[in-house]
Structures are given as structure tokens and as C-alpha cells.
Amino acid sequence: MTLAELLPSTGCATEPVLEEGLWPDGTHLSGSDLVIGGVGATRLAAQFGTPCQVLDETTVRHRARAFRRALPEAEVVFAGKSLPCPEVYRWMASEGLSLDVSSAGELALARAAGFPARRIVMHGNVKTGEDLKAALQHGVSRIVVDSFDEIAQLGALSRHGQEVVIRVTPGVDARTHAAVTTGVEDQKFGFSLASGAALEAILRVVEQPSLRLVGLHCHIGSQVRHVASYEETVRRMVGLIASCGVRVEQLDLGGGFCAPYLPGESSFDLFGFTQRVRGTLNYECALHRVPVPKLLIEPGRSIVANAGVTLYRVCAVKHGARTFVAVDGGMSDNPRPALYGAKYAVRLVGRGGARKPVTMVGRHCEAGDVLAEDVPLPADVHAGDLLAVPVTGAYHHALASNYNQVCRPPVVAVRDGVARPIVRRETEEDLLRRYV
């Protein structure tokens, strides 16, 4: 996808056009206002306060449907950890997606949403006894096991026939950030294919009379841009299927499909993925003479990331070697820059003007509380200005904290000119309620 470039930032009083591919579908400028889902950003900030996480429902649904259309024979499983919210889970259920959860808490949200248990998969590299009991009591369809201890514990807790999927570490480098690379050796996820642990896990599950092996799972990382990494994963996983001597009905390739965060970054090549992965799977199964398993994929970020926009209010501007623009949020609502070095685009809502690079920082007592560096904003940016940051739908609400006892922001859904909170703003009473 070709993305529009920003207009020159010096000597120009014209505000740049919206960066292509970053904003929710249909987002546009109306005069000096930014309109998301038919609602102006200035109105959203006035009505719900700042920081405020805005989520465009139409964009979420369109992207969920795109995965269903691209792989109609596959099971599309929404990665619930990317945006844990009952209302979002309800959208996914109505669009025909399944759901994966990683804890009893995420399962509780799914239950509150009325998500069908038969379409819920329990993930998590470490599941406590309480997590496993909650999954069994609710009747989730499949549980993905990640250690020998977990196999033994699940076998003891389960009734006959609990469906199990084994997470395998295929040894494929997704060529992404080290903190979100999960398919290589020497990390905490899954059973190593190279060491033989994956084959041993298959045998141990088969030996458990209360468990039924239905599939294999893998996940090679996040923000994966290269389809070839998935092709290599399919080759290795089918090789394991051929060598294990057990019928494997399902193959879950995980998710990790990239989303564009900055101008010039492309979206994931979903068409290329479907064609190449489907072809590789069919070829490798024919080569090894094994039945073609049902394919599962787990998009999360690629469905919700670009549907989200966070609004902040400028609190202070400091001029020096750099210009620091401090806002009323920070690492408590977006820790991703501190965790992964994530980068974002920023725009000022309400007026244009000649721009200069600034550093957008948060309100927290950490030098690393930097939200965006070297972003072009009007040279006269000042306290009270409204800033909008796109691509904040994934892992913002999920990773939010109360550092410095700052209350977490609301999540406001917009659609067809209507705005409604689906997660209310946290209050000081909420904070105090836990203290004894």
C-alpha cells in the first residue's frame, strides 16, 4: 500500500493531509477538526475528557470481516489480549470470530460478553490452577498447553475428552523486535521443536486418558512483516505432524500480523499470506502424506490497532535543546514506547501552521516516559492544545496501569456520529477501593 507523505514542515502554514493508512476508516478533516467515526475530536475531548481512547467500531468490524473473507475455510480467532473489553468481544462474536483468552480474568470478560464457550481457546504460557479450573468450569473448547507441568496438572483436573492444543516453538526468526520475538529457541514460550520437547509433549498428552490432542499451535512474534516467515513455520510444523504418528486435526499459526504505525509503513499483505500459506500447507501435507489440518489464525493488533486514536491535552511546553510538549497522559496509558521503543505519529487538532519537531512526553516521574520523539507540530503549540495519536487500539487499554496513581482513561466507541463509552474512566474512588 502506498502511503501519503507529510507536507514540508517549514515555511508552510498549511496543515498536512491525514497520513494514509494510520487512521480509522473514514477519518477526515472538517475545517480544523478531526472527525472519527462521524464525531469530531474536539467534541469527544469536551464530552469525555482527556486522555481519551477512541475506538471506531466500523473499522474493527471491517477488518474482522477481511480475515474471514480471506480465509473462509480457516477459523479466525481474535487475540483477546490485544483489547480486552466485553463490548469488543461481542463485536467479534457477531462477526463470526472465535476468541482466545490468556487468564481467568480475560475469560471473565468473555463470559460477561456472552461469548460462546465452544469458540473460546485458553492460551497463556503460564496458566495457574485457577486459570485452568475456570476454563474447565466454563467449558472452553480448547486449552493450549505450554509446559510438561501444565499437561500433568490439566490431566489431573480434566474430565474425559478435554481438547488440547500443544504450543510448539518452531525455531523461526520473525525478524521483529527482540521483546516480541516468540518463535526462536531460548525463550519462555512453548515446547522446542529442535530439542525434541515438542514430540515428547505430544506423547505425554496422548498418554493422558482425560485429554484429547486436537492440534498444534505456534506463534513466531508480533509486528511480523514477512510472509516467508509463516511459510517456513508451516514447513516445520507439518514436518512435526508427519513425524509424531498422531492425527493432528488443527494447526494454529498464531497471529502477529503487522500494523502500520508511521507514515510510509505498509499494512500486512493479507492476500499474499493467504495464497502462500495455503499453498505451502497443501504442498507440505501432500509431500509428507498427511491429511491437511484445519488452519487457525489469531489476529489481534491487525484488527484493532488502526481503529484507535488517543486524545491528549497539552499541559506544558518547555523550550531548550529540544522542545518538550508534556501531556496529561503518558506511560500509564501507553507503555509501549518504554517497553519496545514503539514510535507514533502525532497531530494537533484545531489549527495548523508552520511546524517544527518536538518531543511529546508524559506526566509520570520517569525519564523514559516519552510518547513520541521528533514529531512535527505547529511551532506555537501551547498548553490547552488538543493532540491526537493514531494506531492506539491495540495493547493500550490492555497494558494501562495506575503508575503515580493516575486513573486509567475511558475507551469510547464511535460509529455513524454516535459516541458511547465502552470502558468508563477510572476514578479515585476506584483506586481507593482496593486499599485495606
Domain ranges of the chain: 28-56+305-433, 57-304
Residues 259-276 have a mean pLDDT of 93
Given this model, what pLDDT does residue 353 score? 86
pLDDT higher than threshold 60 for residue 7: no
Which CATH architecture is the domain 28-56+305-433 placed in? Beta Barrel (2.40)
**Which residue among 12, 218, 285, 365 is the active-site one?**
365
Cell of 185: 529457541
Q: How confident is the model at residue 173 (pLDDT cuts 50, 70, 90)?
A: low
Q: How confident is the model at residue 420 (pLDDT cuts 50, 70, 90)?
A: very high
Residues 212-241 have a mean pLDDT of 92
Share of the chain above pLDDT 70, in %: 93
Q: Which residue has the higher pLDDT, 16 or 306?
A: 306
Q: What span, in angstroms and rounded, lies between the C-alpha atoms of 151 and 96?
A: 30
CB count, 10 Å around CB of 401?
12
The chain-wide mean pLDDT, for the chain, equals: 92
Q: Which of 12, 45, 76 is nearest to 419 (CA)?
A: 45
Interval 67-119: pLDDT, tens: 999 999 999 999 999 999 999 999 999 999 999 999 999 999 999 999 999 99
pLDDT higher than threshold 90 for residue 13: no
pLDDT higher than threshold 80 for residue 8: no
- Phi (first) and psi of residue 272, to 5 degrees: -60, -40
Residues 310-330 have a mean pLDDT of 97
**Can you give the C-alpha Rg of the chain in angstroms?**
23
DSSP string, 224-289: B--HHHHHHHHHHHHHHHHHH-S---EEE----B----STTPPPP-HHHHHHHHHHHHHHHHHHHT
C-alpha torsion sign, points 189, 107, 222, 199: positive
DSSP string, 388-416: EEES-SSSSTTT---GGGPPPPPEEEEET
Q: What span, in angstroms and rounded, lies between the C-alpha atoms of 98 and 115?
A: 9
- Phi (first) and psi of residue 121, to 5 degrees: -115, 130
pLDDT higher than threshold 80 for residue 12: no
Q: Does 12 qualify as catalytic in the annotation?
A: no
Which ranges in 1-138 belong to alpha helices (H)?
41-48, 57-70, 86-94, 104-112, 129-138
Given this model, what pLDDT does residue 175 score? 54
Q: How confident is the model at residue 11 (pLDDT cuts 50, 70, 90)?
A: very low
Q: Which residue has the higher pLDDT, 205 or 12?
A: 205
Q: What span, in angstroms and rounded, lies between the C-alpha atoms of 342 and 344?
A: 7
CB count, 10 Å around CB of 389?
25
Interval 336-391: pLDDT, tens: 999 989 999 999 999 988 999 999 999 999 999 999 999 999 999 999 999 999 99
Q: Could you tell me the end-to-end alpha-carbon distance of the chain, in angstroms, rounded to an integer?
A: 54
Q: What is the pTM of this model?
A: 0.92
Worst-scoring range by mean pLDDT, 95-99, 158-162, 274-278, 305-309?
158-162
Q: What span, in angstroms and rounded, lies between the C-alpha atoms of 99 and 92?
A: 8
The highest-confidence range among 14-23, 262-271, 420-429, by mean pLDDT, is: 420-429
Q: What span, in angstroms and rounded, lies between the C-alpha atoms of 26 and 36?
A: 7
Q: Which neighbouring-strand residues pair with 318?
A: 324
Given this model, what pLDDT does residue 72 score? 96
Q: Which of 325, 318, 306, 314 is nearest to 349 (CA)?
A: 314
Q: What span, in angstroms and rounded, lies between the C-alpha atoms of 426 and 381?
A: 28
* Residue 19 three-state SS: coil
Q: Is the peptide bond before 51 cis (omega within 30 degrees of 0)?
A: yes
CATH number for the region 57-304 comes to 3.20.20.10
Residues 15-27 have a mean pLDDT of 87
Residues 18-45 have a mean pLDDT of 96
DSSP string, 163-178: EEEEEEE------S-G
